[in-house]
Every structure is written in C-alpha cells, then in structure tokens.
C-alpha cells in the first residue's frame, strides 16, 4: 500500500476524531469507532475486514489490560476522594520549601497523576497553586504550568495510569520495564516543563485576585503520608521486582520461594489489588460512615464507569 495514502488516512482519521469529540461532542467510544472505520475505508479495506480488525483489537485490549485499568481507576478514585492527593502535595512542598514551590508542584503532579486522572488532580490542586502564588509572589502562570506539566508527564507515560497501561497491553510489553523506562523519561520532561513554567511566569506575571482555601495541615479528614503514598508506590515496586525476578539472568535465583512470591505479587492485577486494598482501608478509616463506597452508586461504581 502507498505510504503517502496511509499517512493521509491517519491524518484524516485524526481530524475526524477531533471534530467529533470537540465540535460534535460525541462520546469518545463512538468517535473512535467512526475514526477507525474512516481509516479502514480510506485505505481501501473491505467492510468485513474492518469489522474483524476493530473487534479483534478491542477484544484483545480488554482481555489483556481491561481488568488492570478497572482496578487502577478505582484505586485512583479512592485516593482522590480520601484526600491522599492533598497529603502528597503538602508532604512534597514541605520538603521543597516556599522558594521552590513551583518545583514542588511539578513533583507533586509527577506522583499524583500516576493513579489519579490528571484533570481531576488539576482541579483538586488548583487552590493550592493559587495560595502558593499569593504567598510566594510567584506568577500564577508559573504555578499552573509547573503543576500541569508534572501531571501530564506521568499521566501520558507511566503505568498504572490507564492510558499507558492500554498501550502496554496493545504492544505486549513487559509492564515492569515500561514503568522503569517511562519514569526515567518523564523525569526530564517534568523538569523541562518546570523551566518553561519559570520562563512564561516571568513573561506573563500576574497573581490570582482571590484566594481559594486550602488546608496544608493534615487534618483528621486526610490520610497520613505513608497511607497516601503506599497505594501508589507499593504496586509499582512489586511490578518492578517481578521484572527483576523474571530476568533471564535470574539475579534472585530460579524456582525458589522468593522468586515465586515476587512473580505472584508482582503481576499487574495482583499488585494493583494490593494497592486497592490499602487505599480502600485508608478511605474507610477517614469516611467510616460511607456504606455505599463499594456499591454501584458509590465510588467503585463511578470509577468503573470511567474505566469503561
């Protein structure tokens, strides 16, 4: 097939997708379906072949990574609603200090956006950015860009964020190796975003007119530092150790208890379930009165709709 035709078909399909989602505001599933059929028809494929490829690709993605995406989305929702995002922000900003508040926001975004959708995290942390902007007299443009770039760097690259998880499943890649490489790549991306934030902050200096309330002190309605970070970091480390234990060189030995144990708990589904349980008990300790968290109308049900 002509390479030029393929490139044109890709660009045309992307244009159709953008138009349907931005202008028509069609649900993403149907917009993606139409874009897929547009590509197939433009490249001269037969309708039965297009349907077979579409169904096969969708089914393969769901079977390989769908369960992990569902668990990861519920985990992120629990962390979001329990106040873990605010706890992580407060902890990191206490380390960086007010002079490096923008860097602290970028680092906060780097960690928070691994389990929590970046748009939700941005809304949650925006009051903190406003308050820091006023307190430190740093341009709000600096704070917003640093936070936004930190959030997007890991949201686009690092599993168990659903998007990178789906790509990992489609490519059949080793998830532990993907985590290692994507975290390494997203670090300089976050730093570049931070320096761009400083540049644009100097160019467009302004402070917010109003101050939205944000409590830095960890109250009774917020989890502690360990409880906030553990549901994110533990699954990542378990998946990394699984990758190490499964190397051909067998650095931890072959067919012993440690290797078997790490390979069991380091499976993406197992590791994320462990993180989910920790996040669930943390949420319950903060909101013991919520008896519907695991129901269809509760946090679990809402998160699974997003996962779908």
Looking at the domain assignment, is residue 62 inside a domain? no
Predicted local confidence at residue 69, as pLDDT: 79
What's the number of domains the chain is made of?
Answer: 2
175 token code pair: 């998830």
Q: Is 253 left (phi over 0), alpha (psi -120 to 50) or beta?
A: left
pTM: 0.68
Looking at the domain assignment, is residue 156 inside a domain? yes
Cβ-based neighbours of 94, under 8 Å, separated by 6 or more: none
13 and 74, same structural domain?
Answer: no
Burial class (CB in 10 A: 0-12, 13-18, 19+), 117: buried
158 and 34, same structural domain?
Answer: no
Contact predicate 147/157, CB 8 Å = no
Q: In the block, which residue shows the tokens 């393969």?
A: 60
10 and 136, same structural domain?
Answer: no
Across all residues in the chain, what is the average pLDDT?
Answer: 85
75 and 222, same structural domain?
Answer: yes
279 and 161, same structural domain?
Answer: yes
Q: 19-41 b/e with 16+ CB inside 10 Å = b? A: ebbeeeebeeeebbbbbbbbbbe
Separation between Cα atoms, residue 227 and residue 279, nearest integer Å: 8
Predicted local confidence at residue 132, as pLDDT: 82
Give the residue from 139, 126, 90, 150 showing the smallest Cα distance to 211. 126
Give the residue-averaged pLDDT of 65-81: 81
Predicted local confidence at residue 11, as pLDDT: 96
94 and 26, same structural domain?
Answer: no
Predicted local confidence at residue 23, as pLDDT: 92
Structural domain harbouring 159? 70-307
Looking at the domain assignment, is residue 61 inside a domain? no
79 and 17, same structural domain?
Answer: no
Separation between Cα atoms, residue 224 and residue 91, nearest integer Å: 9
Looking at the domain assignment, is residue 190 inside a domain? yes
24 and 121, same structural domain?
Answer: no
Looking at the domain assignment, is residue 50 inside a domain? no
Looking at the domain assignment, is residue 91 inside a domain? yes
247 and 214, same structural domain?
Answer: yes
82 and 40, same structural domain?
Answer: no
224 and 78, same structural domain?
Answer: yes
Looking at the domain assignment, is residue 139 inside a domain? yes
Model confidence pLDDT, tens digit, residues 18-72: 999 999 999 888 999 999 999 999 999 999 999 999 888 888 777 767 787 788 8
Looking at the domain assignment, is residue 60 inside a domain? no
74 and 19, same structural domain?
Answer: no
Give the residue-averaged pLDDT of 122-136: 81
């Amino acid at each position: 097939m002509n390479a030029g035709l393929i490139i044109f078909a890709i660009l045309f399909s992307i244009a159709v997708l953008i138009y349907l989602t931005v202008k028509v505001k069609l649900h993403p599933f149907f917009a993606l379906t139409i874009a897929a059929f547009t590509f197939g028809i433009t490249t001269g494929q037969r309708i039965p072949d297009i349907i077979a490829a579409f169904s096969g690709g969708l089914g393969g993605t769901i079977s390989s990574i769908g369960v992990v995406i569902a668990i990861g989305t519920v985990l992120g929702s629990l962390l979001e609603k329990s106040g873990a995002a605010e706890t992580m922000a407060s902890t990191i900003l206490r380390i960086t200090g007010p002079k490096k508040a923008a860097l602290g926001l970028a680092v906060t975004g780097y960690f928070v956006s691994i389990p929590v959708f970046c748009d939700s995290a941005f809304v949650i942390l925006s009051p903190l950015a406003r308050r820091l902007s006023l307190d430190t007299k740093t341009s709000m443009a600096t704070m917003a860009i640093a936070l936004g770039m930190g959030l997007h760097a890991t949201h686009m690259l690092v599993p168990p964020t659903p998007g990178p998880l789906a790509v990992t499943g489609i490519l059949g890649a080793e998830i532990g190796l993907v985590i290692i490489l994507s975290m390494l790549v997203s670090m300089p991306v976050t730093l570049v975003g931070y320096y761009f934030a400083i540049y644009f902050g100097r160019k467009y200096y302004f402070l917010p007119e109003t101050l939205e309330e944000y409590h830095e002190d960890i109250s009774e309605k917020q989890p502690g530092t360990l409880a906030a970070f553990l549901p994110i970091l533990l699954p990542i480390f378990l998946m990394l150790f699984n990758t190490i234990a499964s190397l051909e060189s067998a650095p931890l030995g072959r067919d012993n208890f440690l290797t078997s144990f790490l390979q069991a708990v380091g499976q993406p589904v197992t590791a994320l379930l462990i993180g989910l349980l920790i996040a669930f008990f943390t949420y319950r300790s903060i909101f013991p009165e919520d008896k519907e968290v695991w129901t269809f109308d509760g946090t679990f049900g809402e998160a699974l709709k997003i996962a779908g």
